[in-house]
Structure formats: C-alpha cells, structure tokens
C-alpha cells in the first residue's frame, strides 16, 4: 500500500490482485448479483484510489479497504432503493423480471446457512470467517467497537446454533424456523 501511495504502478497492480478477490467475495456474500458485485468492486477501487492518501502505514490494509467497500455497498443500496421507488411510481402495475444471481454451489450453501441472520450479522461473520479478519479489523471496517463486534458475533452464533442443530435442520427443511 505504501508503494501504491508513492505512485508505484507494480505495487498498485499487486495490491489489486490480492484484495479484489476478497472484495468480490464480500459483495457476493451480501446477496447481490455477480454483476452488481463486480461493479461494487470497481467502485471500491475508484474510491480507494481517490482516498489512498488517507491510509496510515502500519494499519491493516484489509480493514481500511473493507471500510471503504462497506460504504460503497451502502451507497449502492441507497441508490437502488431510490431508483426502484422512482421506477415504481412510473411503472405502477408492471412487475420487473427477477434475474437469478450467478453463484456457484458453495456460495448458495453459505447464503442459505446465513439466511436467518440480519444483514449486519452476515456481514461480520463473512469478514471474520470467510475473509479471516481479526476482531479489531472488523471493528475498524464497520466503524464500531470490538465489544460491539463480539456481541453481534455472539448473537449470530446463537442463531446459527439453533438453525444448524439437528432439530433446527429438520425445521428448516420443513419450511419453518423456530
């Protein structure tokens, strides 16, 4: 990251190659379509490029990047909600076609397993367990405290234990959650 800040093109390329797959997984885990996820990765890199001077050497590049990605995702969500509300007013009575996201089987399984969780809980579980970030890095990326992250993770684990337990799997298979 220091090389990128100094204008080293090869350092920038190396950083993009290392961070982009993690950002893509982050966006895909948030139930967006693959094309939206790829667009969000591009948007995140544009933002990173604009604010690269704010990175402090010695800090976690991933936590800093995830914080920027999280804000890009929130802005995208707000834009989609605004656009869809305007579209509904214009097209009252016309239903849009649903397009299935392009995901592989493991992403579908992960999404199904994390479905009972709130969006914030899914986001933190993905950062901790899929991206392998530390509690401190997740706290920085989500603009919260380590204590708040621990509390959210604890509550998420509690929900997952109930839904993944043998009797929970039976309930999920029958269509109901307890």
Which pLDDT tens digit goes with each residue over 112-161? 788 888 888 888 888 888 888 888 888 888 888 999 999 999 999 998 88
The pLDDT of residue 40: 93
Q: Judge whether 16 lies within some domain.
A: yes
Q: How far apart are CA 173 and CA 96, in angstroms?
A: 29
pLDDT band of 88, cuts 50, 70, 90: low
The pLDDT of residue 67: 92
Q: Judge whether 142 lies within some domain.
A: yes
Q: How far apart are CA 92 and CA 165, in angstroms?
A: 44
Domain count, the chain: 1
Which pLDDT tens digit goes with each residue over 54-74? 999 889 999 999 999 999 988
Which own/partner pairs from 48-54 qualify as long-range (CB within 8 Å, at least 24 positions apart)? 52/1, 52/4, 52/5, 53/5
Domain carrying residue 140: 2-93+102-173
3-state secondary structure the chain: CHHHHCCCHHHHHHHHHHHHHHHHHHHHCCCCCHHHHHHHHHHHHHHHHHHHHHCCCCCCHHHHHHHHHHHHHHHHHHHHHHHHHHHHHHCCCCCCCCCCCCCCHHHHHHHHHHCCCCHHHHHHHHHHHHCCCCHHHHHHHCCCCHHHHHHHHHHHHHHHHHHHCHHHHHHHHCCCCC
Q: Judge whether 132 lies within some domain.
A: yes
Q: Judge whether 74 lies within some domain.
A: yes
Q: Judge whether 70 lies within some domain.
A: yes
φ and ψ at 158, to 5 degrees? -60, -45
Domain holding 9: CATH number? Answer: 1.20.140.160
Q: Judge whether 178 lies within some domain.
A: no
φ and ψ at 3, to 5 degrees? -65, -40
Q: Judge whether 7 lies within some domain.
A: yes
Q: Judge whether 137 lies within some domain.
A: yes
Q: Is the pTM of this model over 0.75?
A: no
């Amino acid at each position: 990251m220091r090389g990128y800040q100094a204008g080293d093109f090869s350092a920038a390329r190396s950083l993009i190659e290392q961070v982009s797959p993690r950002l893509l997984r982050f966006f895909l885990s948030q139930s967006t379509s693959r094309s939206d996820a790829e667009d969000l990765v591009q948007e995140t890199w544009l933002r990173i490029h604009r604010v690269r001077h704010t990175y402090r050497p010695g800090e976690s590049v991933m936590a800093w990047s995830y914080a920027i990605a999280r804000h890009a995702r929130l802005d995208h969500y707000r834009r989609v909600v605004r656009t869809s509300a305007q579209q509904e007013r214009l097209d009252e009575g016309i239903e849009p076609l649903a397009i299935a996201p392009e995901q592989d089987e493991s992403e579908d399984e992960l999404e199904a397993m994390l479905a009972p969780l709130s969006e914030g809980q899914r986001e933190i579980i993905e950062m901790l367990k899929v991206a392998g970030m530390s509690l401190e890095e997740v706290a920085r990326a989500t603009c919260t405290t380590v204590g708040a992250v621990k509390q959210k993770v604890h509550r998420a684990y509690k929900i997952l234990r109930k839904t993944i337990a043998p009797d929970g799997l039976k309930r999920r298979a029958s269509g109901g959650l307890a």
